[in-house]
Amino acid sequence: MAVSISRKRSKSSRKPEAKQSYFCLTIVYNFLSRISALVFLIILIYMWSSFSTLITGNIIHVCFSTRKVNSLYCLSAGTHPSLEIPTSTTNNSSSIITPGIDQGNATNEPAKFPDISYLVTTSSRVDIKDRDDKVANAVKVVEEQLQLHRSWRSKSSKNQATCDAQGIYVYDLPSKFNKDLVGQCRDMVPWQNFCGYLSNEGLGEPIAKLGKGWYKTHQYSLELIFHSRVMKHPCRVYDENVAKLFYVPFYGGLDILRWHFKNVSNDVKDSLSLELVKWLERQGTWKRNSGKDHVFVLGKISWDFRRSSDSPWGTRLLEIDKMQNPIKLLIERQPWHENDIGIPHPTNFHPHSDNDIISWQLKIIRSNRKNLVSFAGAARDDAEDNIRSTLIDQCASLGNGKCHFLNCSSVKCDEAESVIELFVESEFCLQPPGDSPTRKSVFDSLISGCIPVLFDPFTAYYQYPWHLPHDHDKYSVFMDKKEVVQMNVNVVERLTNISSRERENMRRYITYELLPGLVYGDYNAELDKFQDAFAITMNNLFERVNRLDEAHKD
């Protein structure tokens, strides 16, 4: 009986339980549907806020911000938008392509630099000949400007400029333009305390493992390093009326960095730049030559100071009309702006004396280079040309120690020890473009005696006219990026065919001719035999201002 009663109760309860289960499932389904819709909506909002669309002529660029501090990528080209290429030296009309693509050959040697026309547009409405003419004229403009910059090279072989009848005046800017920015180092980058990098007047903390003169220097520390050296320059004058050059110690790169990860308006990002220009306009020394004898040192790439109206990154400092006349020294120049001049990225090596340089030269010349090729970097699957993935695949397919890949996705490549030690043991170092054409790693490889292999002329050849020679075959190997991506050339195999004698000649040129002029001495550097990167820059600035003075007299 008990069992029978139990079964009856069970049967009588099935319908209410089924209804209840169905009701619960309905609530769960509705809840999950709403959550899914909400998540989908959030994803759409995020994507919409992360990209902007630029229309230039017949080309549509969809630009996404990247994980890097200073970058915007465009699906149309793989790098920064709003790069205007002049169509001639006398015509202001322009077409827009990208700074990271190969720009053809200005010297009419067809195999030297690759063709870029395939990246400009695929529209059938575009006249092919007109497009090719624009590219050729753009390259011509770049070459003419580099030739002009090289004409300002000082013939002095001395470490310091001769100060007769010339001097540099350092503005005592309000602290909000420099010191106060350094004081915000803890909050600049959300995942990292930046203060250690800005210590020791921009050199960072010492690296004992690498020896004397090595520091944890950040690639954005140039503003502090240069400021410290100018303050102690023997040609510094304290009377603005006798100065030939005027140095403006504005830390514009740090100004950009402090806002990059914060949700602020473009007006906020531009506020300090506009204040600086207004401050300068009140100075009689600025009015005297409309700023033509003024110098800025900016520790980020030029594109970060040329924000387009549709872009969220950077400031518009270098787009301000009043900022067109001064000389701007940058780690990466805008190749079609005459007063943008590229100077080396700061490396981790800051010698104090001639002996520091000589000791390092001997070490890298005697080094046992067990790797034929090395590449320190990470794949960029979002890059259109995807050359990095191609290089990694080629490197990984070879054994016998021919190619060593240091994967920066899993290894801390911001630790100089791992990178420098790899480069010192390698014959060739692959240097594909990253978030922008230039790479600090190019200078890391050069000061390690590792011959850089370049795939984009904007990485070095169109950037550093005062510090790198016009004949780039002396210090680097160039390969057509398009040929590599299309698998028409195997990079490692081609490098294998370069004889040991050629490698040795290139390495000796890099070590003894280039290396001293690519590093920045420490803040108390006592160099006599060598000109470092700072001395070369200062000597050439004085040469330029002397030319300007002579032109005024004529």
**Model confidence at 182: pLDDT above 50:** yes
Number of domains in the chain: 2
Domain identity same for 450 and 546: no
Domain identity same for 437 and 328: no
**Model confidence at 53: pLDDT above 70:** no
Task: Give the Cβ contact number of residue 123 at 10 Å.
Answer: 10
| CA 94 centroid distance within chain | 24
User: Angle at the Cα of 159 (from 155 to 161), degrees rounded to 5?
Assistant: 60
Strand-pairing partners, residue 62, are 53
Structural domain includes residue 121: no
Domain identity same for 194 and 249: yes
Q: Is the separation of the CB atoms in 530 and 349 below 8 Å?
A: no
Domain identity same for 303 and 358: no
| Sign of the torsion angle spanned by Cα atoms 259, 261, 264, 265 | positive
Q: Which domain holds residue 453?
A: 354-517
Domain identity same for 400 and 480: yes
Q: What is the DSSP annotation of 460-499?
A: TTTT-TTTS-S-GGGT-EE--HHHHHTTS--HHHHHHTS-
Structural domain includes residue 116: no
Is 378 or 350 the better-scoring residue by pLDDT? 350
Distance CA 267, CA 272 (A): 10
Confidence of residue 423 (pLDDT cuts 50, 70, 90): very high
Confidence of residue 113 (pLDDT cuts 50, 70, 90): very low
Domain identity same for 238 and 301: yes
Q: Please tell me the predicted confidence (pLDDT) of residue 548.
A: 77
Structural domain includes residue 103: no
Domain identity same for 446 and 413: yes
Is 245 or 386 the better-scoring residue by pLDDT? 245
**pLDDT by residue (tens digit) across 82-110?**
333 333 333 333 322 333 323 233 333 33
Q: Is the separation of the CB atoms in 273 and 317 below 8 Å?
A: yes
**pLDDT by residue (tens digit) across 196-211?**
999 999 999 999 999 9
Domain identity same for 183 and 200: yes
Structural domain includes residue 26: no
**Model confidence at 181: pLDDT above 90:** yes
Q: Please tell me the predicted confidence (pLDDT) of residue 124.
A: 42
Distance CA 161, CA 154 (A): 9
Domain identity same for 292 and 415: no
Q: Is the separation of the CB atoms in 166 and 183 below 8 Å?
A: no
Structural domain includes residue 488: yes
Distance CA 334, CA 131 (A): 21
Domain identity same for 212 and 336: yes
**pLDDT by residue (tens digit) across 135-164?**
788 888 888 888 889 988 887 766 666 677
Closest listed residue to residue 405, CA positions, set 366, 432, 384, 382: 432
Domain identity same for 330 and 423: no
Structural domain includes residue 13: no
Rounded average pLDDT over 30-59: 46
Structural domain includes residue 266: yes
| pTM: predicted TM-score of the whole model, two decimal places | 0.78
Closest listed residue to residue 444, CA positions, set 481, 394, 498, 406: 406
Distance CA 218, CA 376 (A): 17
Distance CA 194, CA 189 (A): 7
CATH of the domain at 438: 3.40.50
**Model confidence at 528: pLDDT above 50:** yes
Distance CA 434, CA 378 (A): 9
Structural domain includes residue 524: no
Domain identity same for 380 and 324: no
